[in-house]
């Protein structure tokens, strides 16, 4: 939704951004006078001590009131655009405010909320059936719909909802990181995380990180003996089984510890936050690996694309609760020119083309085979990785705002949608 906000502002729209805190907004949004920000209050913490069903009911009531009041007393908008999910209570509240104030409802479908709910309680749960009915009932009241895949567009159409496919694209700041910027960021991170500090330092270099060195002449270059840099971003939820990657790295450690091994050591950085993070963090801390190191850093928003653009290979574990959405993290990686190994599911081929711009795997053994193939010549040529990077130049040619102007902007400037 932040990308939509930036694009609307670039095209001269006045935007009211309504949302929850927890993450720092990009400077381009914080400093833009055409973007007003409205921070919604968090759900009171004492609710977690109530019974589960009561928590759900009270949470919906609290969020309905706070969101409704914020929208009702903010300046009238011609359009109210929401990202779905979450759908409860957002869809109903926004529809009601649109009806009261004469605004038009716009939905950007990224997934289905009821399918995420089903991960916790099961597909046949009564609450899931009610949520599904509710989601598509209010979805039909929208004036305009966007969705992230053609598969989702077809599915929405079968439910009586006409949508336009708007593929996620990375904005300009997601690009291959120059070695100088990589070195600067790694030095910064090495102050907090030992993983970015080389095991052995040399007196001939002015500065060193695990991936880069600053030579005596001041030139910054990649280390000749550097490890392969893997990156993965996860929400630490049920629809992303981090155990698959952890098992793969365990097997890679065993393979890299053999006598005839040609595989490079691996530095694996995992970004993101979520409910299962602490569980896996404890498991990672218990590992005693020599060839594989894992780090779960906290990053400032400006540092994320720089770190992403420094990686050699990305790994995506997103499987989609609906099977109809695409992982934004892969979009960001592709924007940085980073090939990706992604777990297979229904429509992943709309983004990751196997053996073209990345590889698709089905389990930890399959992923291990792919890592061995891609990294076998890491210090002698990187033939497969280079071929994939070249294919990604096509993806990088079209950025978010350019794609947005072609698909979204015409609908908001057409006579049909003008608000009087």
- End-to-end Cα distance, the chain: 25
CA angle 133, 134, 137 (to 5 degrees): 85
Looking at residue 253, its pLDDT comes to 95
Looking at residue 420, its pLDDT comes to 45
List the pLDDT tens digit at each of the 420 positions of the chain.
Answer: 999 999 999 999 999 999 998 778 888 898 999 999 999 999 888 887 888 888 889 999 999 999 999 999 999 999 999 999 999 999 999 999 999 999 999 999 999 999 999 988 889 999 999 999 999 999 999 999 999 999 999 999 999 999 999 999 999 999 999 999 999 999 999 999 999 988 877 777 778 999 999 888 889 999 988 999 999 988 887 778 888 999 999 999 999 988 888 899 999 999 988 888 888 889 998 999 999 999 999 888 889 999 999 999 999 999 888 999 999 999 999 999 999 999 999 899 999 999 999 999 999 999 999 999 999 999 888 999 999 999 999 899 999 999 999 999 999 987 455 554
Looking at residue 10, its pLDDT comes to 93
Domain ranges of the chain: 2-169+400-417, 179-193+225-396
Beta strands in 26-155 (DSSP E): 35-40, 79-84, 104-109, 144-147
Handedness of CA 86, 88, 94, 99 (dihedral sign): positive
Whether the CB-CB separation of 292 and 252 falls below 8 Å is answered with yes
CATH, domain 179-193+225-396, list 3.40.430.10, 3.40.50.970, 3.40.50.2000, 3.40.190.10: 3.40.50.2000
Buried b vs exposed e over 54-71: b needs ≥16 C-beta within 10 Å?
eeeeebeebbbebbbebb
What's domain 2-169+400-417's superfamily in CATH? Glycogen Phosphorylase B; (3.40.50.2000)
- CA nearest 88: which of 161, 139, 15? 139
Looking at residue 236, its pLDDT comes to 81
CA angle 180, 301, 188 (to 5 degrees): 40
């Amino acid at each position: 939704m932040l990308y939509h906000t930036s694009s609307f502002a670039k095209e001269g729209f006045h935007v009211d951004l309504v949302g929850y805190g927890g993450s720092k907004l990009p400077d381009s949004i914080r400093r833009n006078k055409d973007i007003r920000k409205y921070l919604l209050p968090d759900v009171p913490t004492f609710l977690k001590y109530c019974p589960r069903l009561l928590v759900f009911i009270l949470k919906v009531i609290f969020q309905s009131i706070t969101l409704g009041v914020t929208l009702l007393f903010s300046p009238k908008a011609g359009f109210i655009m929401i990202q779905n999910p979450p759908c409860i209570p957002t869809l109903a509240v926004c529809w009601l405010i649109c009806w009261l104030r004469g605004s038009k409802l716009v939905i950007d479908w990224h997934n289905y909320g009821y399918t995420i709910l089903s991960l916790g309680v099961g597909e046949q749960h009564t609450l899931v059936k009610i949520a599904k009915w509710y989601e598509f009932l209010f979805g039909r009241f929208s004036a305009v719909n966007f969705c992230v895949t053609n598969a989702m567009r077809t599915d929405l159409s079968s439910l009586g909802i006409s949508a336009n496919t708007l593929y996620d694209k990375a904005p300009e700041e997601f690009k291959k990181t120059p070695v100088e910027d990589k070195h600067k960021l790694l030095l910064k991170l090495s102050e907090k995380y030992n993983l970015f500090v080389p095991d052995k330092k040399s007196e001939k270099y002015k500065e060193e990180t695990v991936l880069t060195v600053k030579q005596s002449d001041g030139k910054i270059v990649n280390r000749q003996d550097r490890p392969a840099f893997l990156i993965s971003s996860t929400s630490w939820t049920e629809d992303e089984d981090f155990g698959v990657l952890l098992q793969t790295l365990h097997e890679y450690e065993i393979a890299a510890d053999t006598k005839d091994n040609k595989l490079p050591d691996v530095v694996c950085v995992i970004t993101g936050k979520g409910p299962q993070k602490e569980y896996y963090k404890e498991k990672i801390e218990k590992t005693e690996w020599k060839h594989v190191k894992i780090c779960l850093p906290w990053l400032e928003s400006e540092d994320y694309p720089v770190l992403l653009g420094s990686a050699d290979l990305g790994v995506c574990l997103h499987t989609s609760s609906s099977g109809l959405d695409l992982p934004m993290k892969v979009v960001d990686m592709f924007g940085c020119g980073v090939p990706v190994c992604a777990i297979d599911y229904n429509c992943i081929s709309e983004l990751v083309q196997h053996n073209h711009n990345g590889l698709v795997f089905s389990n930890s053994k399959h992923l291990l085979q792919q890592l061995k193939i891609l990294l076998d010549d890491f210090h002698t040529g990187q033939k497969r990785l280079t071929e994939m990077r070249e294919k990604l130049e096509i993806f990088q040619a079209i950025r978010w705002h350019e794609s947005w102007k072609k698909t979204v902007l015409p609908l908001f400037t057409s006579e049909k949608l003008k608000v009087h």
